[in-house]
Amino acid sequence: MTSTTPRIIAVGNLKGGSSKTTLAVNVASALAEHGAVVLVDADAQGTAAAWGEAGKLPVAVQSIPLADDGQAAFAAWLSKLVALKASAAFVVVDLPPNLGGVTTAALTIADLFLVPVTPSGMDLRATEKALQLLRQARQVRGGEKPFALLVPSRVDRRTAAGREIEGVLSDFREQVGPAISARAAHVDAFGAGQWIGAYAPRSVGHVEIEALAAVVRRMVAR
């Protein structure tokens, strides 16, 4: 089912290098098969924007960076995001790490918080903090939104941590999504300026991203 109301999907975690950008670019690109998508690069590092620079992604990439510098900046940033919503079926926001205020701002309007978590103790601690922000946002909004999906990312099932990640994430009491395994193709797709579905169609990496995007679509259709 394709949603007719524009949906905002915020991809974030407070830990750097947890696969936020890889997930944002690939999920946005998979969603583009079902409606117009704008991918917002909210990170001043500009990784998502660099990925789209070659013009090979099936989504429009907009750089709307936000630093953690106060309410006025947040309000201006949020109004840009709301304006984009009108032109797309899905807005996917790639959030920066370490900036709780930026994540909080995004969660005031997001329909879904997509949280990639790699099987490392450091990621789990940052995830706990990110989920505190999520629960605060739900309280302020007085409802069940944003929905949340924890996505085991860069998973290597040869390691114990990789085999146990779903069990560990279930303790957070949020939905745990289809996992994305560690694949060299994800790294190389960035170098090629393509999403995984174009770079390595029907590869395991592509199939996993499509499975994740299908869950995302179901969740935001509610």
User: Which of 144, 161, 156 has the alpha carbon at shortest distance from 180?
Assistant: 156
Q: Based on the shown chain and the rule CB under 6 A, indicate whether residue 22 belongs to the binding site for ligand ATP.
A: yes
Per CB under 6 A, the segment of 20-28, 70-78, 107-115, 143-151 that binds ligand ATP is 20-28
Rounded CA Rg of the chain: 16
Least distance CB 181 / ligand ATP (angstroms)? 6
Q: Based on the shown chain and the rule CB under 6 A, indicate whether residue 21 belongs to the binding site for ligand ATP.
A: yes
| β-strand partners of 39 | 61, 92
Residues that bind Mg ion in the complex, under the rule CB under 5 A: 20-21, 47
Q: Answer with the entry of Mg ion, ligand ATP, none that 190 interacts with (C-beta below 5 to 8 A by kind).
A: ligand ATP
Tell me whether residue 145 or residue 183 sits nearer to ligand ATP (CB atom): 183
Tell me whether residue 6 or residue 97 sits nearer to ligand ATP (CB atom): 97
Report the distance separating Cα 114 and Cα 92, nearest Å. 10
**Beta pairing, strands 90-94 & 60-63:** unpaired
Phi and psi dihedrals of 168, rounded to 5?
-65, -45
Report the distance separating Cα 175 and Cα 151, nearest Å. 9
Least distance CB 163 / ligand ATP (angstroms)? 16
Token pair listed for 128? 């706990």
Residue of the chain from 6, 52, 97, 119 that contacts ligand ATP (CB under 6 A): 97
- Residue 14 one-letter amino acid: L
Residue of the chain from 20, 145, 206, 217 that contacts ligand ATP (CB under 6 A): 20
Cβ contact 14:103 at 8 Å:
yes
What is the footprint of ligand ATP within residues 55-84 (CB under 6 A)?
none
Residue of the chain from 7, 19, 169, 199 that contacts ligand ATP (CB under 6 A): 19
Least distance CB 2 / ligand ATP (angstroms)? 27
What is the footprint of ligand ATP within residues 134-153 (CB under 6 A)?
153
**Alpha helices, H only, the chain:** 20-31, 47-52, 71-85, 100-107, 121-141, 160-170, 184-192, 196-199, 204-220
Residue of the chain from 180, 212, 219, 220 that contacts ligand ATP (CB under 6 A): 180
Tell me whether residue 21 or residue 153 sits nearer to Mg ion (CB atom): 21
